Structure 1
Amino acid sequence: MVLAAGTGWSTSARAQAATPTVAVIEVNGRIDPIVADFIRDSLRTAERGSSEVLVIQLDSPGDLLSGGQMRALTTRLSRTPIPVAVWVGASGSHAYRGAALLADVAPLVGIAQGSRIGECPDCRVRPGLRTARSLSASEAQAAKAADLVAPTIGDFIVDLDGRTVNGHTLQTARVVQRGGQPRREPSVQVSFAKLALVQRLLHTVASPSVAYLLLVAGMLLIVFEFFTVGVGLAGGAGALFLVLAAFGLAVLPARPLGIGLLALGVAGLSIDVQTGAPRFWTGIGAVSLVAGTWMLYDGLHLPLVTAVLVLLGAALFMLAAMPSVVRARFSTPTIGRETMVGEMGTATADLNPEGMVRVREALWQARTNRATPIAAGDAIRVAGVEGLVLQVEPAGVDDTATGGAGA
């Protein structure tokens, strides 16, 4: 949606506008370089147009900008020739830390009931925002951190009427008679603008939770592709996820050590992927995944629910799903599971009657039909294959003695 916003505030310029407009731009989520560019572009559009005021509808927990980038943005807002207003809404919205700096430099600030603002020690223009805690709507108004409380964007625009910014008195409402009673209603057209589709995608992947999810999912899909035959959709999707994650992590304060630990975690689980049971590298991988999750961001914390769900999903994928995929691959007719009959191996656990054996450098579930259990470390011979389970017997037992075990 294109903004219609204005620069000139002379009487002649205003007279030319048959119906004044108010441009509203929606800023949601952390203020990253994508959002900062969007605000600057909106200001340029407003300065070329004929809007009565530019309103920033704000709902943000903070920013991801460097100190210089944030100073440049707030300086741009404070020096624009058009009136700028910030409304923290709708109800339940918040403007903390770097996001509160936008309100700090705005000539007019409103907040909806149920929203909160503050936690911004760097604020200078509005001392009420310079607090270690957030303020409710009524507290913000009492502390002069906000000029007015308005439940909706429409009420906020109406309440701007008559307020003066840089010598210009805003005209956003008129009084009409409704049922014999005077009532104020908007006298301006309102246009809304938000990030374009591609910008929204890039802004979304720069979210700490989304970037983390894309990174882990991308690595898991690459592992899945590595253990399957040929190049398929999993590898392509994994590569795309990693590219998007790389963009998000480039914007976020990501620690290389955290990324490395996550990669080590996935690699560790991959080493034991054919075992079907936790082993040494599984433990290393699990610890690395948890540590990488904890250390991924500097100054940001992932939601606990997100971290737990991703870690559990990764563990289930690698320990439950991947072993089945690998065994299915090695037991397909194209590879020839019948050729495993007669192969020699070693029992890695007691078979009484079931356990684990190592054959062809891979671990398999195995079963013996002999009355005497096979001890861990004993040599075995594959006598048959039933699905993904090997039928085994002690090495040295011939077919006559066993009654001719078969596949």
Structure 2
Amino acid sequence: MRRALLMVLMVSMLLLPTVSAEKKVVYVGEIEGTITQYTADQFESYIKIAEERNAEALIIELNTPGGQGDAMMRIVSLIQNSTVPVIIYVYPRGAIAASAGTYIAMASHLIAMAPGTSIGACEPILGYSANGSIVRAPAKIRNFYAAYMRSLAEASGRNETAAVKFVLEDLSLTAQEALRANVIEIIANDVPELLKKANGMKTKVPVSGKGYVTLNFTNVEVKRLNPSLSYQIVSFLANPGIAYILLTVGMLGLVFGFLTPGWHVPETLGAILLVLGVVGMGYFGYNTAGLVLVILGIIFFIAEALTPTFGLFTIAGLVSFILGGLIMFGKGGGIYLVSGETFSTLRIIIIVTGIILALFFLFGMVAVMKAHKKRPETGKEEMIGAVGRVVEDLDPEGMIKVRGELWKAVSKTGETIKAGEKVRVVKMNGLTLIVERFEGDGDV
């Protein structure tokens, strides 16, 4: 009886569904360079991936000199509404979280810095004067950003005094100074050390829908989120130096093109560079920037059809169309137009479609040029050079037959040309053809 019960117990245990502890995942993304709307799109993409995959946390390795205020506020809102803890990690050594980057860090659930990094210097500026000096924002704007920074520090329980000095006094702190001043929570050399030190800590900011969360990084798997193709393209364009050069050269190209009409190369390159420069200013999102380039490409294609340029407009249209498509559908924005797997196929479709459109307009251009070169089928020009046969002696006037039609004709030299001989039309005077004797094998 005991053996039977033991057997039943063993079989039951074997049949019971096995429960294995699912390994927790921490995602690590990278944000580098000037903060623009593209940065906000990429931030949204990172957060959405972490939320959809129920990540334990999202770590953003941040290295930025600052950027646009509206893009920064959008990122702050994204962090505050995230259902996954967002940790800002100023990394690698030598990195900074200045200006807009400091606001983003202060809004995060936890701040970590690598040794040799710095944070702060948030005074708002309006730009730079002609001599290169900073144009400071008026007191009203400075006070607004100071209050905004204070509210972020207050919500996270961080040092409000230092936070306000970041704005009003352009205070900057090293990693050690920021830790002592209660501005950040952790100093770590790398992500594994960060996870080890943050394990068991409670978030400084409530996680959306969950309140304050105790971080549990025991037995976690770290997965990196690579920047999207869109973000890599626009990050290069959004470099202030690159954007400025593109705008300047683009405008010079347009001016030079208008001063030298007929060549088309300067204005074509100028238009492309100017649009890329505007895109690089970062005031668009991925979708708008991509759409602008696609529309520019279509305009170039149409221009090629209307004003053949031996393929110049076609090449320009192809470059603009493909670049715009890759940015627009490059998995950059928080609102996914397509999945990553679909984009791999879509990328090929975008390139193939662009090539097909380019070939279509290119062959259309060739057809137009051939039509321009082709002799007209009717009219005076069509008759010149035609070969006919005399049906009534030209002495010097008579009748000839050209292409199945009878024409009154006059011998050019005044000589007599007998019926049956070949003649060639050299001139047309009203409805009378001026001809000369023809000894060749031309068609009659």
Question: What is the TM-score of this pair, normalised by structure 1?
Answer: 0.50
Q: Which of the two has greater helix per residue? A: 2
Identify the structure with bigger relative contact order (alpha carbons < 8 Å, sequence gap 6+). Answer: 2
Q: Indicate the structure (1 or 2) with the bigger Cα radius of gyration.
A: 2
Question: What is the TM-score of this pair, normalised by structure 2?
Answer: 0.46
